[in-house]
Structure 1
């Protein structure tokens, strides 16, 4: 009875809604302006479909249903006692050799074999990324100018940094990245943090060549940002300290081309700043020293350092012309 009542109500709602939506007539204005959303272009079809569905529900609800006749449950079939007790015999096969049966233990539980559960093989664990791996990936992404992925890698590098050396390197990398993006305030803050951590590393390892170079590179970043912001005194102080650190190696950088190139770059950065302040003779001396270093590098590896030597030679000639004029 409840199903019939629900069918009648639902059928009336669908039939009247479809009647109004299809435009067959008006039953007040309750559904005339009904917004059908994406089905609005198919309003007549939706209206007819709703009307027909409602009519079918009304007919189905009002049609009397015949009463079902109760079916008797069939009586169980009793087998004859002789047939019920007799086992079903299979076709007799050829006799097989009698297997050797192990002695039965007294305790049935102890005799039950223990089967180890089958453990599905787990997928191999992904390799653990090290700090150096992330730095190498950051350099590669920066060269490819994939800045979004480089920023994500840099964030992971900052979180992974553990000791003072790794923190100094990651903050220096952050400074380089922010400076390349034009965010000088963020770059200056990152370089200052790198200098603080690098000083701690150098204090713990005062005779370490790498600690001197780490502090010098962080100071060079401080000087670059200070020069870009017009803070020339701060830039001069940072460049001079970086150059002093690289000169203090006592010739140990001779076996490291990267360290010699860093010395040449420090000389030229300080020389450019000296020239901007009107100290042309001091700038000329610095460029001559840089030219000697760059010439030795280019002689050993022309493909790698030939362009640096050409640039240094051009700047040296320009300064000599200014001093002579």
Structure 2
């Protein structure tokens, strides 16, 4: 039987009408009888004689096509045709969805691409540092800066991967955001950045037509600025951040993201010894924080960032020898941290900020010769660090903070000439790091080098304490 879907347009209009006797009648009750059944003799009937009138094959074919045409126009035919079309649509949708699934962008895949980029950037910077000849101090600074940059980039990878996932799948995601994220997922950061540069002009043009309605269109540019930073293309990142913030100076997300970038760059400049560059970036970061506070005065995060900025500028002033200026910044950061900690005692982050600020104050007091004040500040910081570490023993960050607090106490003991206290505090610190190391937690090469130096000092202090003890026993007439 001929499939009605195979009937060609020219077959629907026969050249001449079929014989009337051969034309089947269609009805709404069901499909017409098979054409072959019309010519089949009834059981027991005599076969037709040679001179009997036979059905013309051509007329029979035309009659069959005409019958299907009539039936297709009937109610049953329309119903089944609709079902066939619907099935085709469902099949097509399923096919398209399966293809989309093949290119489904996931945060873990984005993270893998970004981690590979960070490691490639680190290796490039490390090779450049090791190529420095004749100035071991400059070489060491560049190596430390490369390592610090890698650590900072790795710390931001999760947030960056999640941001790309968000701009590609959010309710306001557009085709540029989706394509940018897909290219990053499939081809990596360099290809994604090449693509966004071809789209930058159009994105800005669309934004300028209606700034309030189209601010979301700037999200691919903001995310790409972070991608430039991950690639180590700092000047491209700097320019793109400045452009986005210039277009949307009242956009908290852009101000905050730019602030984080500037802090990272200033920290790296301090490590490299370029204090002027560090001051420029710290100053601009403070301007971003001030803008955030002006937009949302009651938002505690902006106060938190203000305290962090004061910590950083305090560090910079210490590097320049301005201890009084550093103390002012540290005291300001501590005042903010104490206010936030008091406002929400259950907020672990605010409690940690207070602990860090206390350590900064202890450091500057020690540098100014106030060892009693330094000891008091570090002991108060230790109390907070111990509570946080006990609240979640699996939290590597809390454990590291606890180790740092013990280190600070050890430095004060060293300054006071108390080798017993030094061995006790630094020994506890080394035990914490050893536990982290056994658990597979990341410890940077520079940290390991510092730990080796501290371990040697602890061994020396323990040996000295043993010698002093033996001398005291001998003086008493013991064995």
* TM-score in same-fold range (> 0.5): yes
In the alignment, is residue 284 of structure 1 matched against residue 423 of structure 2? yes
TM-score (norm 2): 0.40
**What is the CA-CA distance between 1:252 and the residue it aligns to?**
4.3
**Counterpart pick for 1:180 among 319, 322, 345:** 319
Q: Which residue number corresponds to residue 127 of structure 1?
A: 244
SS in structure 2 of the partner of residue 312 of structure 1:
helix
| Between structures 1 and 2, the one with greater helix share | 2
Distance 1:311 1:256 in 2: 26
Q: Which ranges of structure 1 fall in alignment gaps of 5 or more residues? A: 1-119
TM-score (norm 1): 0.57
In the alignment, is residue 198 of structure 1 matched against residue 337 of structure 2? yes
Q: Which residue number corresponds to residue 317 of structure 1?
A: 459
Distance 2:272 2:421 in 1: 39
Q: Which residue number corresponds to residue 373 of structure 2?
A: 234
CA RMSD of aligned residues (A): 2.5
SS in structure 2 of the partner of residue 127 of structure 1:
helix
| Larger CA deviation: 196-205 vs 131-140 | 131-140
Q: Are residues 147 and 207 of structure 1, via their aligned partners in 2, closer, same or farther at CA, if it must alter by over 3 Å?
A: same
In the alignment, is residue 141 of structure 1 matched against residue 269 of structure 2? yes
Q: Are residues 267 and 149 of structure 1, via their aligned partners in 2, closer, same or farther at CA, if it must alter by over 3 Å?
A: same
The Cα offsets for residues 197-227 of structure 1, whole Å up to 9 and x where unpaired, read as 0001111221222112211111111111111
Q: State the number of aligned residues.
A: 206
Q: Is the 8 A contact 2:422 2:458 kept in 1?
A: no
Q: Is the 8 A contact 1:294 1:308 kept in 2?
A: no
Q: Which residue number corresponds to residue 355 of structure 2?
A: 216
Distance 2:351 2:362 in 1: 16
Equivalences for residues 27-106 of structure 1 within 5 A: none
**What is the CA-CA distance between 1:167 and the residue it aligns to?**
1.5
Q: Are residues 141 and 279 of structure 1, via their aligned partners in 2, closer, same or farther at CA, if it must alter by over 3 Å?
A: closer
Q: Is the 8 A contact 2:382 2:402 kept in 1?
A: yes
The Cα offsets for residues 15-44 of structure 1, whole Å up to 9 and x where unpaired, read as xxxxxxxxxxxxxxxxxxxxxxxxxxxxxx
Q: Is the 8 A contact 1:268 1:286 kept in 2?
A: yes
Distance 1:271 1:144 in 2: 27
Q: Which residue number corresponds to residue 406 of structure 2?
A: 267
In the alignment, is residue 170 of structure 1 matched against residue 298 of structure 2? no
**What is the CA-CA distance between 1:317 and the residue it aligns to?**
0.4
Q: Are residues 306 and 254 of structure 1, via their aligned partners in 2, closer, same or farther at CA, if it must alter by over 3 Å?
A: farther
SS in structure 1 of the partner of residue 281 of structure 2:
helix
Distance 1:296 1:177 in 2: 33
- Tell me which of the two structures has the higher relative contact order, counting C-alpha pairs closer than 8 angstroms and 6 or more residues apart: 1
**What is the CA-CA distance between 1:297 and the residue it aligns to?**
2.6
Q: Which ranges of structure 2 fall in alignment gaps of 5 or more residues? A: 1-203, 209-217, 219-242, 246-254, 294-301, 468-479
SS in structure 2 of the partner of residue 138 of structure 1:
helix
